[in-house]
């Protein structure tokens, strides 16, 4: 099932910029009221085509989901180890979903694949990653972290605003950006302290 906005995706970009500027560093967890807020492996939403211009309802088979469960079969012994597992799980979820939604060719960042079908911007990526994280938690796979609202940054007048999914280390209480936008579909997202991300982290810092 697909839902389409009346306004073309390109026209939503300036609107998003204005929203970021006016809302500071916080962003809503979900940007559309037709996005499933309690995702399950049998029914969850995927955003694509820039700023959730298209929302697709998807599901995973038991065989597909077993690939995710396998990552967590040996429970993490620390929050850091769990973050590594989260990154791998999100990469595999992107691979599985990419085949279903024709987004396997999604390129890292936005301009590389601009106007290509199935291309995702940071709104799509951060919303999808938040859904994936909620899916992992609802199935008891994540134990050292909680899922937070997405966050946005606007480091300077000479850089674009940007949004990421966020988790909280429940022991240290530190927030971490979980950002899959920087890399091509199916690559592990960067997971770094949110304050480092907010300062303008980019792949040049990797």
Q: What is the 3-state secondary structure (H, E, C) of 20-71?
A: HHHHCCECCCCCCCCCCCCCECCEEEEEECCCCCEEEEECCCHHHHHHHHHH
Q: Which helix (H) or strand (E) holds 82?
A: helix 79-101
- The total number of structural domains in the chain stands at 1
Output DSSP code: residue 77.
Answer: S
| CA atoms in the 13 A half-sphere facing the CB of 6 | 0
Instruction: Inform me whether the pLDDT recorded for 51 exceeds 90.
Output: no
| Spatial distance between the Cα atoms of 87 and 65, rounded to a whole number of angstroms | 16
The whole-number average pLDDT for the span 12-19 is: 36
Which structural domain range is residue 163 located in? Answer: 2-205
Query: Which residue, chain included where needed, has tokens 């990797």?
Result: 206
User: Model confidence at 92, in pLDDT bands (50, 70, 90)?
Assistant: very high
| Spatial distance between the Cα atoms of 91 and 133, rounded to a whole number of angstroms | 12
Name the range with the highest mean pLDDT among 25-29, 64-68, 119-123.
64-68
| Spatial distance between the Cα atoms of 77 and 75, rounded to a whole number of angstroms | 6
Sheet holding 190-193, edge to edge: 145-153, 162-169, 175-179, 190-193
Instruction: Outline where 102-162 has alpha helix (H).
Output: 122-138
- pLDDT of 5: 34
Query: Which residue, chain included where needed, has tokens 């936005």?
Result: 110
Instruction: Inform me whether the pLDDT recorded for 154 exceeds 80.
Output: yes
């Amino acid at each position: 099932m697909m839902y389409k906005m009346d306004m073309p995706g390109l026209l939503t970009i300036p609107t998003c910029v204005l929203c970021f500027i006016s809302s500071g560093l916080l962003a809503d967890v979900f940007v559309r009221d037709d996005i499933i807020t309690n995702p399950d492996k049998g029914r969850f939403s995927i955003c694509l085509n820039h700023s959730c211009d298209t929302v697709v309802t998807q599901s995973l088979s038991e065989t597909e989901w077993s690939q995710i469960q396998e990552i967590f079969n040996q429970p993490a012994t620390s929050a850091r180890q769990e973050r590594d597992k989260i990154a791998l799980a999100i990469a595999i979820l992107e691979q599985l979903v990419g085949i279903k939604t024709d987004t396997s060719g999604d390129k890292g960042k936005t301009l590389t694949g601009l106007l290509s079908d199935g291309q995702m911007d940071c709104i799509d990526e951060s919303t999808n990653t938040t859904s994936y994280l909620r899916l992992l938690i609802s199935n008891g796979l994540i134990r050292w972290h909680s899922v937070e609202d997405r966050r946005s940054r606007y480091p300077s007048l000479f850089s674009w605003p940007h949004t990421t999914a966020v988790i909280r280390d429940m022991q240290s209480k530190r927030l971490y950006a979980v950002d899959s936008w920087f890399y091509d579909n199916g690559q592990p997202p960067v997971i770094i302290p949110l304050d480092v991300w907010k300062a303008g982290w980019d792949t040049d810092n990797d």
